[in-house]
């Protein structure tokens, strides 16, 4: 098969969550274990860091990977979903997995695919672990796909477990209370392995403390160790001042991830680095600061308050649940703009009404959809938006909607 034929096979032959939703979610680790056993258990051949959470796990994963790579460690990075190219999911030292490896791996594993009928995600996890083992990485930063306890990535025993935060998302699969969602994400906590919780909340705190005690896993809450005392934008950068509790001097960090919500992820990353240093990882402070200022350059993270055009300012953000959109709205409030134009698309299985209620009523909206079966049709989105007091027009495709918004800005 060619690379394109291979991708078509993976996308359309296997159940894929981003395309069809919950039907693609496998609630056990059997297939992943079987796939990795057939490959000689590649996941035990490298060290790893496991990162879960409702929001922020992608940014946190990329920042940590950039830091480890800059510190001289050969670093794998597994994230999902991808934005443009499937190979974004699997990287080593910032470089995407080769097309030839994707082809060869899929050909090799095809008989097993036909036999056990795994999901798209299960195959990509096995592919990533095999690639990291083949490349002999020193460490791989592995982002959880969904939840934690039953996520395909949860066959690793990492150096460190990280849970960024708990919020409302995927309630149909993870539970209808924050405590239940936290319990699913706490499933990545392993016996004796330190765990970091990014954001403390009354609903989830006891869940994490109880689980870590059961596993005899040291636990730390990042936002109780450090606090962002000030932050400001300078061009495409976010400058953050951080105070460590119990210390008088403050540290200054420059992030090339400009969203103000990155201040929370920064505190999580700093505590993760602190714990890694305690376990013998050599990460110099100067190297750390340089890596944080170059995360996008080092490993190509996109879609997090990403300014892709100025005059007019055009920003991309992949926030897609209540907590994520709430952070976007807070950032919009700090923008000095006479009028905001929002291109918006959603998928059917999100809490759409709750998200729409958060959005500003005085903005102009361009309702559209991604080209996947799971996308909510733009006309349906318009009806729901009207009920929430939002007004706008519909467009069949994202780029058409964006062009219309830019034309309106110039009128």
What are the boundaries of each domain within the chain?
3-227, 306-410
For residue 176, what pLDDT is reported? Answer: 65
Which stretches within 279-321 are classed as H helix?
285-292, 295-299
Q: How far is CA 116 from each of CA 58, 106, 109, 204, 220, rounded to the nearest angstrom? A: 29, 14, 11, 36, 39
pLDDT in tens, 24-77: 455 679 999 999 999 999 999 999 999 998 888 999 999 999 999 999 999 999
pLDDT in tens, 256-295: 998 888 999 999 999 999 999 999 999 999 999 999 999 9
CATH architecture of 306-410: Alpha-Beta Complex (3.90)
For residue 18, what pLDDT is reported? Answer: 43
For residue 308, what pLDDT is reported? Answer: 84
For residue 296, what pLDDT is reported? Answer: 92
The structure's pTM equals 0.89
Residues 6+ apart with CB under 8 A from 247: none
Residues of the chain with pLDDT under 70: 15-27, 167-176, 411
- Percent of residues in the chain assigned helix, strand, coil, to nearest 5: 45, 20, 40
Instruction: Please check whether residue 357 is in contact with residue 329, taking contact to mean a CB–CB distance below 8 angstroms.
Output: no
- Domain 3-227: state its class: alpha beta
């Amino acid at each position: 098969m060619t690379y394109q034929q291979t991708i078509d096979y993976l996308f359309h032959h296997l159940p894929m969550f981003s395309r069809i939703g919950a039907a693609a979610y496998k609630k056990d680790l059997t297939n992943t274990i079987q796939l990795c056993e057939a490959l000689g258990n590649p996941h035990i051949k490298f060290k790893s860091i496991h990162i879960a959470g409702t929001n922020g796990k992608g940014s946190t994963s990329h920042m940590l990977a950039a830091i480890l790579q800059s510190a001289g460690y050969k670093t794998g990075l597994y994230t999902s979903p991808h934005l443009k190219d499937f190979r974004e999911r699997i990287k080593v030292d910032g470089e995407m997995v080769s097309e030839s490896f994707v082809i060869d791996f899929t050909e090799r594993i095809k008989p097993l695919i036909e036999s056990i009928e795994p999901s798209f995600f299960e195959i990509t996890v096995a592919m990533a672990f095999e690639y990291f083992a083949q490349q002999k990485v020193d460490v791989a930063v592995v982002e959880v796909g969904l939840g934690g306890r039953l996520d395909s990535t949860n066959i690793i025993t990492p150096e460190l477990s990280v849970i960024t935060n708990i919020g409302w998302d995927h309630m149909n699969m993870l539970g209808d209370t924050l405590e239940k969602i936290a319990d699913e994400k706490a499933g990545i906590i392993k016996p004796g392995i330190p765990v970091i919780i990014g954001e403390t909340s009354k609903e989830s705190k006891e869940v994490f403390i109880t689980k870590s005690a059961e596993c005899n896993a040291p636990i730390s809450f990042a936002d109780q160790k450090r606090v962002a005392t000030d932050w400001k934008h300078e061009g495409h950068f976010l400058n953050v001042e951080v105070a460590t509790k119990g210390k008088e001097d403050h540290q200054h960090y420059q992030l090339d991830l400009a969203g103000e919500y990155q201040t929370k992820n920064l505190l999580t990353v700093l505590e993760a680095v602190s714990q890694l240093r305690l376990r013998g990882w050599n990460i110099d402070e100067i190297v750390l600061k340089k890596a944080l200022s170059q995360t996008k350059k080092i490993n190509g993270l996109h879609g997090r308050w990403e300014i892709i055009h100025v005059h007019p300012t055009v920003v991309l953000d992949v926030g897609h649940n209540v907590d994520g959109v709430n952070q976007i709205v807070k950032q919009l409030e700090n923008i000095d703009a006479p009028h905001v134009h929002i291109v918006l698309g959603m998928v059917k299985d999100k809490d759409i009404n709750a998200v729409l209620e958060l959005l500003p009523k005085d903005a102009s909206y361009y309702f559209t959809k991604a080209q996947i079966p799971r996308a909510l049709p733009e006309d349906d989105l318009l009806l729901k938006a009207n009920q929430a007091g939002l007004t706008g027009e519909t467009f069949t495709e994202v780029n058409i909607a964006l062009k219309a918004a830019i034309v309106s800005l110039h009128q």
